[in-house]
Amino acid sequence: MSGQASFGRPMHRPTRIEVDLGAVRHNVARFGELTGTDVCAVVKGDGYGHGAVPVARAALEGGASWIAVALVEEGLALREAGIDVPLLVLSEPPVAAIGDLLEARLTPVVYRAPFLAALDAAARARPEPVGVHLKVDTGMGRVGAVAEDWDGVMREAAGAAGLRVDGLMTHLARADEPSESTTGEQLVRFAKAGRQAGLLGIEPRWRHAANSAGALAHRDARLDLVRPGIGIYGLSPGMDVDAAEYGLRPALELCTEVVFVKHVPGGTPVSYGHRWVAPRDGWVATLPLGYADGVPRALTNVAEVLIDGRRHPVAGTVCMDLLMVWCDQHRPHVGDRVVLLGAQGEDRVRVEEWAAIADTITYEIVTQLTARLPRGYVDHG
């Protein structure tokens, strides 16, 4: 589609998210160009707040050959939507989920001998071995077989008649800090894990380690497959790896309209706690969204929005459903379009700005935009 965004439900307030699927397609293709490897597009967390199903379709159009999710439930939703490509489940689910996982032809990431045994027992009833990706912990310290368990877990996987180890993987802890040595050290350990697996007869088709930051900033991490998540949405993995510098385009826009305007004299306090006072006579606009929509209260008195292509600061405490903006001598009008995240005129408010103000990361900003905000989709090619 192109032009006007399409929303799946009636909209009685003007606040909404618009996602440019053309940007997603472009970003996935860009990862393929930059890395020269196959791309596994990560759409967990409802496509990082962008909508998992539309994003997955756009990612496949952009050249992704795999899609990754965090949960079996997320994989099932994609299958129900007709996504029929390899779907990688990035963490071991409960044993009770194995039946649904196998029925939906999801590819599990495995790293514990008990889960491997349960999966093997269920898979043996199937006509062909079930492909799995074996995860080793090389320094992330989250999930994955730790070094002292590599031999036992690898032997369990190699001896499982119902399973076939198609992938060997790890996850990078500090790829978004290119000056740190951690990524190189993890890749050395991962190579060691690969050699150990080979001695046990495991020769996986896919060896992969790189998240968005790893794929962009670390050539040695690209291997056979990269797993970009935040980058396919055009957002930066960290302060030292800027998505824009790699030609990635933000896909998400958060916009609304002015719903109330008032002229206030200098010295007028605004919003809860009177944490902001008008510095002089001027105009204040009220916008119909707040922290119930995922707008961080940390943006109080600091963040800026775009009205008529001009930046205006948030004035006073962000409320649950409303926030105010100081327009100074520029008179706004009810119905004026407001962009909180995205471009208007020659300027753009980036998700990275909100993340810096809230002392967090881009991932948290977009995944905390709540379901109360309708998502619409455009395609700018």
Return the closest-CA partner of residue 87 out of 51, 128, 42.
Answer: 42
Angle at 350 between CA 19 and CA 56, to 5 degrees: 30
How many other C-beta atoms are found inside a 10 Å radius of the C-beta of residue 206? 21
Torsion over CA: 255, 259, 265, 268 (sign): negative
| φ, ψ dihedrals at 170, nearest 5° | -145, 180
Structure tokens at 116: 């491997």
Instruction: Output the DSSP codes for 46-79.
Output: HHHTT-HHHHHHHHHHTT-SEEEESSHHHHHHHH
Q: Tell me which H or E stretch contains 13.
A: none
CA 167/CA 110 separation, integer angstroms: 10
Q: Which of 135, 233, 262, 272 is catalytic?
A: 272
Q: Is 262 a catalytic residue?
A: no
356-360 contact pairs (CB < 8 A, 24+): 356/239, 357/296, 357/298, 357/299, 357/302, 357/303, 358/296, 358/298, 358/299, 359/298, 360/296
Active site residues: 44, 272
